[in-house]
Amino acid sequence: MIQPNKSLTFTFNGESFGAIPGQTIAAALLQAERTTLRTTRFNDEPRSIFCGIGICWDCVVTVNGVSNQRSCLIEVSDGMVVKS
Ligand code: FES
């Protein structure tokens, strides 16, 4: 199996991950088996990618200090800081 060149690095809740250029935050995290991107305000239930095309907002995260960013739409950039 060919291993993709993960030339980009970013952090998610303080943990480092690699990403392929052009890969979205959500795709990179799912590939690393991190399926919980956030939790709900009430009941603290886990949420992950649902639609994958920017419609449902289940995948929102904070990116470089900017909240409510849809991780399924934003490509990873080197050094990006992502939080739930
Ligand atoms: S998974 Fe639906 S908006 Fe990102």
Which atom belonging to ligand 1 lies closest to the Cα atom of 59?
Answer: 4
Residues having CB within 6 Å of any atom of ligand 1: 49-52, 54-59, 70, 72
**What's the pLDDT at 36?**
95
**What's the pLDDT at 4?**
65
Q: What is the CA radius of gyration of the chain?
A: 12
Ligand 1 atom 3: the closest Cα is on which residue? 54
**What's the pLDDT at 52?**
95
- pLDDT tens for the chain, 84 residues long, are 555 678 999 999 999 999 999 999 999 999 999 999 999 999 999 999 999 999 999 999 999 999 999 999 999 999 999 999
Three-state DSSP at 5 gives: coil
Which atom belonging to ligand 1 lies closest to the Cα atom of 71?
Answer: 4
pTM of this structure: 0.91
Q: Where are the chain's structural domains?
A: 8-83
- Mutate which of 25, 30, 57, 84 for ligand 1 pocket (most atoms within 8 A of beta carbon): 57
What is the fold, at CATH topology level, of the domain defined by 8-83?
Answer: Ubiquitin-like (UB roll) (3.10.20)
